[in-house]
């Protein structure tokens, strides 16, 4: 049986507290507070940031972007007027196809896919090189890029009606 890290345990406790699970809630809140995690409206932001850190440790790729607020924005990053900063996450996997006794490997990501390769390693390497063109493994850099993109989009559209009053 695989042991959970302290971050994974805290993350699971935070998600259960945020989702309103009542069983052992006092115990979970006490554990979170003893770790210095505020159990208030900022809990969602802490969860999003901790999940990204876990994904970064697993080798995922990240890209910062800006979206309109209504399009599934991330609570952990700031909002500028109508635009929210988000971090997109992606990874590469390979799958095998057998045709007439020959085996070929293809790579996929959440958005892209391609190429026929002789081995699984070559397929994964090809996919990784494609993601490396537009994404980074540095989650902090992706977060900063997202904030800059949201600021830039907000400034290019001018003030919202509420801001101009």
pLDDT in tens, the chain (165 residues): 566 777 888 888 898 888 888 888 889 899 999 999 888 888 888 888 899 999 998 889 999 988 887 666 666 788 888 888 889 999 999 999 988 888 999 999 888 888 889 999 999 999 999 999 989 999 999 999 999 999 999 888 866 555 555
Phi, psi of 135 (to 5 degrees): -125, 170
- The model's pTM: 0.76
How many angstroms from the chain centroid is the CA of residue 102? Answer: 37
Distance from C-alpha of 87 to C-alpha of 14, rounded to nearest angstrom: 20
Listed residue (27, 90, 97, 29) closest to 62, CA to CA: 90
Q: What integer pLDDT is reported at residue 2 of this predicted model? A: 66
Residue pair 77/86 in contact by the 8 Å Cβ criterion? yes
């Amino acid at each position: 049986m695989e042991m959970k890290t302290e971050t994974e345990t805290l993350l699971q406790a935070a998600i259960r507290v945020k989702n309103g699970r009542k069983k052992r809630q006092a115990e979970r809140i006490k554990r979170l507070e003893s770790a210095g995690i505020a159990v208030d409206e900022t809990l969602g932001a802490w969860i999003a940031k901790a999940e990204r850190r876990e994904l970064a440790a697993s080798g995922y790729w990240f890209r910062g972007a800006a979206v309109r607020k209504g399009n599934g924005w991330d609570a952990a990053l700031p909002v500028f007027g109508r635009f929210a900063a988000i971090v997109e996450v992606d990874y590469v996997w390979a799958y095998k196809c057998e045709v007439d006794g020959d085996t070929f490997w293809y790579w996929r990501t959440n958005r892209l896919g391609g190429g026929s390769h002789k081995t699984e390693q070559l397929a994964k390497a090809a996919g990784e090189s494609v993601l490396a063109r537009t994404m980074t493994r540095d989650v902090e850099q992706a977060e900063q890029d997202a904030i800059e993109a949201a600021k830039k989009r907000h400034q290019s559209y001018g003030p919202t009606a509420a801001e101009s009053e």
